[in-house]
């Protein structure tokens, strides 16, 4: 029996998930470790993002991956491993950064190498990296989710140093796809 592969199932919508039923192809409750609804901090669509943290992405129904509605990601690394952080998502705000880079190994190695720099940002909760396993071609291959207590973290000197890092800038310039969103906690479901 193969080892479980933790990951995420991400649903994007312009409709408030609190007023809509769960998607027909939502993960089975037995695999869900956390389910959190976010709303975009900006005015771009999609307005809402629902993130299911799951214990095993192999148990996820394939469902409808047409358009940009559903994305499934395999977890690559977790900056909070060994840290006293609960397994569920608890940050009030997420900085979501997706990228497709000519060398996936380069972007993954860089992301892990900056964990010490990210951990010292005031209000930091957790950072995790993922690879896309189900979604459309226009979705970036790698996703980084950085969770913070609130948006005040983005106004700190530590965050500015992270953003201004020359390696980060070089990585982003070399990417063929970039996606950056700030998501605000809307409701924790599980």
pLDDT of residue 84: 52
Helix (H) or strand (E) holding 158: helix 157-164
Q: Indicate the number of domains in the chain.
A: 1
CATH, residue 16 = 3.30.70.100
- Cβ atoms of residues 108 and 158 within 8 Å: no
CA distances from 37 to 20, 48, 139 (A): 12, 7, 20
Nearest-angstrom CA–CA distance, 57 and 158:
34
pLDDT of residue 158: 97
Q: Tell me if 70 is assigned to some domain.
A: yes
pLDDT of residue 135: 82
Q: Tell me if 22 is assigned to some domain.
A: yes
Residue 162 burial (CB < 10 Å; 0-12/13-18/19+)? Answer: middle
Nearest-angstrom CA–CA distance, 129 and 142:
7
Peptide bond into 178 cis (omega under 30): no
Q: Tell me if 177 is assigned to some domain.
A: yes
Q: Tell me if 2 is assigned to some domain.
A: no
pLDDT of residue 5: 92
Q: Tell me if 91 is assigned to some domain.
A: yes
Domain region containing 51: 7-188
- Cβ atoms of residues 7 and 72 within 8 Å: yes
Residue 68 burial (CB < 10 Å; 0-12/13-18/19+)? Answer: middle
Which residues, at least 6 apart from 189, have a Cβ–Cβ distance to it below 8 Å? 35, 36, 37
pLDDT in tens for each of the 190 residues of the chain? 678 999 999 999 999 999 988 888 888 889 999 899 999 998 888 999 999 999 999 888 766 555 568 899 999 988 766 555 545 446 789 899 999 999 988 888 888 888 889 989 999 988 899 999 988 777 889 999 999 999 999 999 999 999 999 999 999 999 988 889 999 999 888 7
Question: For residue 100, which of 172, 34, 149 has the smallest C-alpha distance?
Answer: 172
Nearest-angstrom CA–CA distance, 1 and 182:
38
């Amino acid at each position: 029996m193969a080892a479980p592969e933790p990951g995420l199932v991400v649903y994007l919508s312009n409709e408030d998930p609190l007023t809509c039923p769960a998607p027909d192809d939502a993960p089975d409750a037995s695999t869900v470790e956390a389910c959190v609804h976010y709303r975009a901090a900006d005015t771009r669509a999609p307005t809402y993002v629902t993130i299911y943290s799951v214990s095993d992405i192999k148990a996820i129904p394939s469902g409808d991956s047409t358009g940009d509605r559903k994305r499934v990601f395999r977890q690559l690394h977790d900056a909070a491993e060994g840290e006293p952080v609960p397994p569920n998502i608890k940050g009030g705000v997420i900085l979501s950064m997706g990228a497709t880079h000519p060398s996936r190994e380069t972007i993954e190695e860089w992301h892990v190498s900056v964990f010490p720099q990210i951990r010292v940002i005031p209000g930091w909760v957790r950072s995790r990296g993922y690879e896309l396993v189900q979604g459309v071609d226009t979705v970036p291959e790698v996703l980084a989710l950085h969770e913070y207590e609130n948006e005040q973290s983005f106004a700190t000197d530590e965050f500015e140093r992270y953003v201004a890092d020359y390696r980060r800038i070089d990585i982003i310039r070399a990417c063929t796809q970039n996606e950056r969103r700030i998501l605000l906690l809307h409701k924790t479901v599980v």
